[in-house]
Amino acid sequence: MYRDSIVYQTIEHGRRCCHSAVQDSFLAGLLLREGTGGRRAAAGSAVLYTLAAAAGFLAGRWKERVVLPGARLFPAVLAPGLTAGSQALAWLRGSIFGPALLSWPEMAGLCLIILAFPFIPVPATVGLILLLALLFALRGRFKGVLSLPLVPQAAFFLSLLLFSSLFSVAPRESLQVTVIFTAFFLFYLMTVSELDSRRKIYVVTAVFLFSATLEALAGLFQNFISRPLVDPSWVDVGLFPEIAVRVFGTMDNPNIMAQYLAPAIILGGGMVWQVKSFAGKAFFAGQTALMAAALVFTYSRGGWLALVLAALLFGLLRDRRFLLLAGVLLAGAFWLQPDLIASRLASVGNLQETSTSYRTFIWQTAYRIISDFWAGGVGPGTAAFREVYNKFYMVTGVTAFHAHNLYLELLVEIGLFGLLGFFWLVLSYFGYGLKRLVRAPAVFEKTVLAAALAGLAGYLANGLTENSWYSFKLVLLFWWLLALGVAAAKRQGDGSMSQDGSD
C-alpha cells in the first residue's frame, strides 16, 4: 500500500508537524498583547515552532543516506515537546526570559539548540543550526561577522580540515566531519553576534545549565533506578569490582558525560557566586550539586581531575573565595564514595590497570602513525583513523577507534599543521579572554568569562587522556565555550554596562 511507503509516511509526518507549528504559533500570538512587542514575540514563537516542525520532518523514516550517510535519525519526539515548552514561554513573556526568548526569533532558535543538543542526534543538531543560519541570512544578521574575534584563526583551522579531507584515506567520511565542523563554526558566529546584552548572556547561560541539569538527572536515574550493567571495557572489574554502574546519561559513554558536565559545574558555581537573591543562589546551587553528583557517578578520573583544575583556575581568575565552594563540593564528593574515589584516583598511572595499559598501547601506536603521516594526517574523523589502523598497525585482538588523546588524534587526523592551527585558535581565545578579564568593569560578564575560560581549560586538560572530539556533542561544547567567553569578553572590552540585568 502506498500509505506504508517511506515517502508517504515522511510527507504525512512533516505535514502534521507543520500544521501543529502554524496552529500553535497562531494561538501563542493570540495570548500576547497587541502592538510591536506582541508581534515580535509572536514572530519569535513562530520561528521556534517552525524549527520544531522542521526537526520533526527530518525525523521521518527517510533512508539514512538522505541526511548524512551512516547517521541514525532521531525519533519524532522533539516537536511535541517544543510545542509544550514554547506555549509555556508565551506565558512567561513578562519575566526575564520572556523578552529574550520570544521577542527575538534568533535568540529563540539559539536557546533551542543549546537546550537540545545533548539529547538529539548530531544530524538533527546540524539541521537546526543550518535552519537558524538561514534565518540569520534572511534577516541580514551575518553582516560584519568576519570582524568577530577568532574568525581568522577558526577559518584557518577549518581550511586545514578541508584540505586534509580532500586527501583523506576515507574522503567521504572526512568531508562529512568537515561539514559538521563548519556548521558548528556557524553556531559560534551566530552566538557571538546574538549575545549583545547582559540579559541574553544570562538567558543562554541559564538554558545551558538547565540542559546540563537534565543530563545530570538522567545520569542519577541510571545510578539509582535503572542501573544499566557497566560495560566491561569501561572498568577493570579486577581492581574495581564494586563499580556496578557508570552513568552516561544520553552521551553513550561515562567519560563523554563527565567532560560535558565539568564546564557546566564551573559555570553553575559561578552563577551561585554571582546572583544576589537567596532563591537564585539556592536554585543554581541545587543545579550544581546535581551535576556534581552525576559527575561523581561517572567514575571518570579524567573528568574529576579536569573539574578540580577548572575550579582552581576559576578561583584564581575570578575570586579566591570560590575555592571554598569548590572545597565543599569536593568534600561532598568524597562523602558519597570516599574509598572508591580515593582508589580510582590512586590508580591513575597504574600500568596494571586495563584502561591505563590499553591507552598506553594506543598512544604508542598513534606515534607510529604520526611518524608516517606527520604533515597532513590520514584525514579528519575516526573513520580515517580506523581505516589506517586496521590495515597497517592493528595488533591481533586489540581494536581501536581513536587515539584516546585529543592532541595525538589531531596529529593523526590532520597532521602537524592542523595541530598548530588548533593551538593558534585556542591560545588566541585565552589571550583575548584574559586581556579583557584584567580590565573587566562589569561583574556579571567577568564571572561568565572566567567560567568559560576555566571550563575550557579543564576541557583541554581532559583531552590528555581522552579524544574529546570523538563525540560531536563535545565538539559543539567546545565551540559553545568559545562563543560564550568571547561574547562576555566583547561586552567587557566595549565597556557595555546596559541595564539588561544587574551585578
Q: What is the pLDDT of residue 88?
A: 42
Within a domain: 93: yes
Q: What is the pLDDT of residue 275?
A: 92
pLDDT at 364 (0 to 100):
92
Spatial separation of the C-alpha atoms in residues 265 and 295, rounded to whole Å: 9
Q: Tell how far CA 401 is from the center of its chain.
A: 21
**55 and 193, same domain (yes or no):** no
Nearest to residue 383, comparing CAs of 70, 161, 67? 70
Are both 345 and 442 inside the same structural domain? yes
Of 74 and 463, the structure prediction assigns the larger pLDDT to 463
Do 279 and 420 fall within a single domain? yes
Q: Same domain for 305 and 182? A: yes
Split at pLDDT 50, 70, 90, the class of 284 is: very high
Give the domain range for residue 97: 2-143
Number of domains the chain contains: 2
Give the single-character DSSP code of 230.
Answer: P
pTM here is 0.80
Pick the closest to residue 157 from 487, 473, 490, 469 (CA basis).
469
Least confident of 198-207, 296-305, 323-332, 484-493: 323-332
- 87 pLDDT higher than 70: no
CA dihedral 75, 294, 273, 453 (to 10 degrees): -70
Q: How far apart are CA 476 and CA 186, in angstroms?
A: 11
Identity of residue 196: D
Residue 358 included in any domain? no
Please indicate, yes or no, whether residues 259 and 298 belong to a single structural domain of this protein: yes
Q: Does some domain include residue 181?
A: yes
Q: Are residues 320 and 456 in the same domain?
A: yes
pLDDT at 19 over 90: no
Same domain, 123 and 178: no
pLDDT at 401 over 70: yes
3-state secondary structure of 347: coil
Whether residue 273 is contained in a domain is answered as yes
What confidence tier does 324 reach under pLDDT thresholds 50, 70, 90?
confident
- Both 74 and 137 in one domain: the answer is yes
Nearest residue to 299 (alpha-carbon basis) of 255, 330, 334: 255
Domain boundary among 89, 109, 143: 143
Mean residue pLDDT across the chain: 80
Boundary (domain end) residue, out of 78, 109, 143? 143
Statement to judge: residues 288 and 435 lie in one domain? yes
In a domain, 364, yes or no: no
Q: Are residues 190 and 118 in the same domain?
A: no
Which residue did the predictor score with more confidence, 41 or 77? Answer: 41
pLDDT for res 81: 38
Whether residue 124 is contained in a domain is answered as: yes
More confident residue, 73 or 396: 396
- Listed residues 143, 174, 190: the one ending a domain: 143
178 shares a domain with 90? no
* CA gap 41, 435 in Å, rounded: 37
CB 487 within 8 A of CB 195: yes
DSSP state, 389?
I
Q: Are residues 440 and 324 in the same domain?
A: yes
Determine, yes or no, domain membership for 396.
Answer: no
Residue 156 lies in a domain: no
